[in-house]
Amino acid sequence: MCLNSVFFGIIIRMYMEVGIQHQLPHFHAYYQEHAAVFSIEPVNLIAGSLPTRRGRFVEAWAELHQAELTADWELLQSGRPPRPIDPLK
């Protein structure tokens, strides 16, 4: 597991996948009791849900940091630690 970023009470994490990888590079977003999974490119909600405003924050953040998210995904899947990504301000 990796903590990539935290902003506006939202926690963004990625997980290393042991064995077979999922089809799409993705990240997890957590806000209070809500959890959602977003694909990286394109940025889309795959599963779960967040309150509307928080979901829009996550989508905006992910679009600004797509290259960093992709690089972190590749690092994590190859067993290397990913780099933190700046929060949405």
For residue range 29-39, what is the model confidence (pLDDT) as tens digits? 999 999 999 99
d(CA 65, CA 33): 25
- Do residues 11 and 3 lie in contact, with contact meaning Cβ atoms separated by under 8 Å? yes
Domain annotation covers residue 64: yes
Domain that holds residue 64: 1-6+27-89
| Total of domains in the chain | 1
d(CA 31, CA 53): 11
Residues 6+ apart with CB under 8 A from 57: 7, 8, 10, 88
Domain annotation covers residue 74: yes
Spatial CA neighbour of 27 closest among 1, 8, 51, 9: 1
Domain annotation covers residue 31: yes
Domain annotation covers residue 22: no
Dihedrals φ, ψ of 66, to 5°?
-60, -45
Domain annotation covers residue 20: no
Domain annotation covers residue 18: no
pLDDT (tens digit per residue) in 2-13:
778 999 999 999
Domain annotation covers residue 11: no
pLDDT (tens digit per residue) in 28-71:
999 999 999 999 999 999 999 999 999 999 999 999 999 999 99
Q: Is the dihedral of CA 77, 28, 69, 9 positive or negative?
A: negative
pTM of the model: 0.90
Domain annotation covers residue 15: no
